[in-house]
């Protein structure tokens, strides 16, 4: 049984081929990915259509298996969620030029230090916008 199938079952979700395929693709990504990027993967494009992909991503986000975050371009991107290994709550860096969204380490979120005394955070979503190293280098060369 694959890691994705085990995570789905542990979250009380039936581990269908489509769900396993989508979760495996998101977990394997090294950054937060847009649904269109997932559909570019031949193994997923052959397995499901756009509507099924969005329904599957919604289910995975509801169960905490993937994190859904919104970019300034109003497009959602998905990465490993709190129910997945290494998927604790974390922030994201969005490149304004190439539109890549990278996950920030959890240690970068010192939320407790900025909350009012006695307050407890429930949901935290932090996104830093700027230029990634490659885009900064390209801009400097231009």
The domain that holds 94 is classified in CATH as 1.10.10.10
The DSSP result for 25-41, as a single string, is HHHH-SSBB-HHHHHTS
pLDDT score for 104: 82
Angstrom distance (rounded) from CA 68 to CA 105 = 16
Long-range contacts formed by 104-111: CB under 8 A, 24+ apart: 104/128
What's the number of domains the chain is made of? Answer: 1
pTM: 0.80
Which segments of the chain does DSSP mark as H helices, in order? 3-10, 17-28, 35-39, 42-45, 50-62, 133-141
* Residues linked to residue 33 through DSSP beta bridges, in sequence order: 78
For 16, the domain range is: 3-141
| Angle formed by the axes of helices 17-28 and 50-62, nearest 10° | 70
Q: What is the pLDDT of residues 13-29, one digit of tens each?
A: 999 999 999 999 999 99
């Amino acid at each position: 049984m694959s890691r994705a199938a085990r995570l789905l079952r542990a979250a009380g979700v039936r581990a269908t081929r489509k769900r396993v395929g989508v979760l495996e693709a998101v977990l394997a990504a090294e950054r937060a990915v847009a649904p269109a990027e997932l559909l570019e993967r031949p193994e997923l494009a052959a397995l499901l259509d756009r509507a099924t992909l969005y329904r599957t991503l919604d289910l995975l986000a509801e169960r905490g298996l993937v994190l859904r975050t919104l970019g300034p371009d109003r497009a959602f991107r998905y990465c490993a969620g709190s129910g997945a290994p290494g998927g604790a709550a974390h922030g994201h860096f969005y490149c304004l030029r190439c539109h890549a969204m990278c996950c920030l380490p959890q240690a970068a979120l010192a939320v407790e230090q900025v909350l009012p005394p006695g307050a407890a955070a429930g949901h935290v979503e932090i996104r830093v916008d700027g230029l990634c190293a490659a885009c900064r280098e390209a801009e400097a060369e231009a």
